[in-house]
């Protein structure tokens, strides 16, 4: 999720307080974005995906309801080039922790156009703001290294793609049916190949043109 790359956006939430908080945060960090706030009950799914570049959808108060997930499934898979940011509750993280699998409702929503963010996770950590710091410049520089200097394996690409959508290591392991140890090792290996030192550098590379090109290609 790269700040500054979206012109029109929408916030969908049942909670006016959460919606106001998301709106305030986005307006502070996204330049020149036209942001609207919608209630879940009155949102028109098709018009939202057609008229917006990015949609922040608060699922934190939905209590794993079948209806609400199917409500958004059609929109997410509509083919419109719209980025979806799904905000989930800590309960779903607890579900994953204790039952070993991510909430089954979330799996169909995990497409390249969606990112999954826990409301307890620092929101700005999932946001790449170009030119913010010297570290960003260094990360962008790393992203410009020619592909042949850091060719990733197919497994490493799959891991980085899922991490780039907002999943944690545990969730990636569940989706790919691998152990946490294996996923962590593949992530570290990818960072070494890319000469990246931190998660911030990794997300900067994933959102760079070089990263998008490399991760879109299979071996």
Work out the average pLDDT over 44-57.
74
Indicate whether 120 and 141 sit together in one domain.
no
Q: DSSP state, 211?
A: H
pLDDT at residue 105 tops 80: no
Rounded distance between C-alpha atoms, residue 97 and residue 207, angstroms: 28
- Alpha-helix residue ranges (DSSP H) falling in the chain: 16-29, 45-51, 66-76, 90-99, 134-143, 154-164, 169-176, 180-194, 199-207, 209-216
- How many structural domains comprise the chain? 2
pLDDT of residue 169: 84
Residue 114 φ then ψ, to 5°: -120, 150
pLDDT of residue 170: 84
Last residue of one domain, picked from the residues 126, 143, 163 = 126
Indicate whether 111 and 147 sit together in one domain.
no
- Do residues 118 and 90 touch, judged by C-beta distance below 8 A? yes
pLDDT of residue 80: 66
- Least confident window among 53-62, 71-80, 133-142, 197-206: 133-142
Q: 3 lies in a domain?
A: no
Q: DSSP state, 201?
A: H
pLDDT band at 9 (very low <50, low <70, confident <90, very high): confident
What one-character-per-residue DSSP string does 131-190 give? TSSHHHHHHHHHHTS-GGGGPPPHHHHHHHHHHHTT--HHHHHHHHT--HHHHHHHHHHH
Work out the average pLDDT over 3-15.
78
- Using alpha carbons, select from 41, 45, 64 the residue that is nearest to residue 55: 45
Indicate whether 99 and 176 sit together in one domain.
no
> Residue 86's beta-bridge partner residues?
57, 116
Q: How many other β-carbons are positioned within 10 Å of the β-carbon of residue 28?
A: 9
Range of the domain at 193: 134-216
pLDDT band at 143 (very low <50, low <70, confident <90, very high): very low
pLDDT of residue 212: 86
């Amino acid at each position: 999720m790269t700040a500054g790359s979206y012109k029109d956006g929408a916030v969908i939430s049942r909670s006016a307080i959460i919606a106001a908080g998301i709106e305030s945060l986005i307006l502070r960090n996204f330049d020149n974005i036209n942001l609207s706030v919608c209630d879940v009950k009155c949102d028109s799914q098709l018009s939202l995906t057609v008229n917006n570049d990015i949609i922040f959808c608060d699922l934190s108060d939905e209590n794993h309801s079948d209806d609400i997930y199917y409500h958004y499934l059609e929109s997410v898979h509509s083919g419109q080039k719209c980025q979806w940011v799904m905000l989930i509750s800590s309960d779903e993280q607890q579900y994953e922790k204790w039952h070993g699998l991510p909430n089954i409702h979330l799996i169909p929503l995990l497409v390249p156009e969606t990112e999954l963010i826990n409301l307890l996770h620092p929101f700005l950590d999932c946001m790449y703001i170009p030119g913010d710091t010297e570290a960003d410049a260094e990360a962008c520089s790393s992203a410009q290294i020619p592909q042949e200097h850091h060719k990733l394996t197919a497994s490493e690409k799959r891991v980085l793609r899922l991490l780039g959508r907002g999943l944690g290591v545990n969730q990636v392991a569940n989706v790919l049916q691998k152990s946490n140890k294996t996923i962590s090792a593949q992530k570290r290996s990818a960072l070494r190949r890319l000469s990246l030192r931190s998660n911030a550098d990794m997300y900067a590379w994933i959102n760079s043109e070089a990263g998008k090109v490399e991760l879109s290609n299979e071996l």
